[in-house]
């Protein structure tokens, strides 16, 4: 029996940064986001013997192990290794195939989506009675604590739950609030959003490290900016639920302006040029996805200006990314050699 799982990637509209420790414990964070029709995939196929083989299509890397004791964290396929250790997979052979629709550094939460998909596959294999909160909590703990990869909390919950959510981060818990948005509002929002690959990946670890230190040290500009970003997430939630999408776009612009105050490397001259030219062609708001420095650029503009913004940014080397909204989070299923198990 072959086990498959997939989790969606996400775009965050506002509040990113308020989910990064120690701010949630200090003041409570909030993020508004949605998942999109780009995915992380895992295929898990049991095999005879004890050999565990992991193959990453994205990294063109394959590794094999006979025992948990052979697993060493070295920067290669560590997400899978951490999950194998968590579930104590021993004396059980399998082939695992990993792939993702976005590369690391995209700003779309790809590594966390892969982590959730791996946990989902093992959950299905071992028939573990884990809730969605359990899965997201485990994924966060493995990536942030076990592996020490710097980042926030939002990605694991977005990938696990899926859909439009207002996610609150406090001490000690995270609460995911699904948003009930009218179909016509979702259609209008989709028509007015553009996602571009800037074709420049970013290494966010240093940006996140500096933000964490600044919050811990009580730097006024950083804490006040995070406070404002949290409030903007609340305001954007209200605007989208009420269908005030012009306000939504303007709030996205405000969120980007305050996001840049968190660290000098969140933006750069190339990003500023892209954003300024998009605004000149009619964009209302926008932001770099993720921690900043590169990756994907999200733009909000009226439908009548859409073609002008696309043309201008493609002239500058960006690639338009087509996407839809995904209402489902983590999904797992079993496949036999001849049919899908219902």
Catalytic positions: 155
Distance of CA 202 to the CA centre of its chain: 14
From its phi and psi, is residue 325 left (phi > 0), alpha (psi between -120 and 50) or beta?
A: beta
C-alpha to C-alpha distance for 96 and 285, rounded to whole angstroms: 41
H or E element that contains 321: none
Q: Where are the alpha helices (DSSP H) in 28-171?
A: 78-87, 110-126, 132-140, 154-161
Which of 22, 229, 206 is CA-nearest to residue 105? 206
Residue 312 structure tokens: 């201008």
Query: How many Å apart are CA 209 and CA 148, to the nearest integer?
Result: 12
Residue with token string 């209008």: 188
Q: How far apart are CA 254 and CA 259, in angstroms?
A: 9
Q: State how far the Cα of 32 lies from the Cα of 312, in Å rounded to an integer.
A: 28
- Exposure of 130 by Cβ count < 10 A (0-12 exposed, 13-18 middle, 19+ buried)? middle
Rounded Cα distance between 5 and 73, Å, is: 24
Residue that has been written with the tokens 């629709």 in this structure: 101
C-beta separation of 86 from 142 below 8 A: yes
Q: How is residue 318 written in tokens?
A: 């960006």
């Amino acid at each position: 029996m072959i086990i498959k799982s997939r989790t969606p990637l996400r775009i965050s509209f506002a509040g990113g940064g308020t989910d990064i420790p120690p701010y949630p414990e200090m003041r409570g964070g909030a993020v508004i986001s949605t998942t999109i029709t780009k995915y992380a995939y895992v295929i898990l196929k049991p095999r005879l013997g004890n050999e565990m083989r992991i193959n990453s299509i994205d990294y063109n890397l394959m590794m094999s192990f006979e025992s948990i004791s052979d697993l060493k964290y070295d920067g290669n396929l560590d997400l899978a290794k951490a999950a194998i250790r968590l579930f104590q997979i021993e004396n059980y052979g399998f082939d695992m195939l990993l792939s993702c629709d976005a590369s690391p550094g995209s700003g779309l939460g790809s590594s966390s989506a892969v982590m959730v998909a791996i946990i989902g596959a093992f959950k299905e294999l071992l028939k573990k009675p884990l809730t969605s909160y359990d899965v997201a909590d485990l994924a966060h703990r493995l990536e942030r604590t076990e592996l020490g990869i710097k980042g926030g909390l939002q990605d694991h919950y977005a990938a696990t739950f899926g859909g439009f959510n207002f996610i609150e981060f406090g001490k000690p818990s995270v609460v995911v609030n699904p948003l009930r948005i009218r179909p016509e509002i979702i259609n209008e929002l989709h028509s007015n959003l553009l996602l571009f690959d800037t074709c420049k990946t970013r290494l966010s670890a240093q940006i996140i490290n500096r933000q964490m230190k600044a919050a811990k040290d009580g730097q006024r500009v950083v804490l006040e900016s995070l406070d404002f970003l949290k409030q903007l997430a609340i305001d954007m939630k209200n605007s989208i639920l009420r269908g005030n999408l012009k306000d939504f776009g303007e709030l996205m612009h405000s969120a980007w302006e305050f996001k840049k105050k968190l660290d000098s490397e969140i933006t750069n001259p190339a990003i500023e040029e892209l954003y300024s030219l998009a605004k000149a062609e009619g964009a209302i708001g926008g932001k770099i996805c993720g921690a900043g420095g590169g990756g994907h650029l999200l733009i909000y503009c009226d439908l009548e200006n859409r073609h002008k913004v696309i043309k201008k940014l493609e002239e500058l080397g960006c690639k338009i990314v087509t996407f839809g909204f995904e209402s489902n989070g983590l999904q797992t299923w079993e496949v036999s050699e001849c049919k899908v198990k219902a």
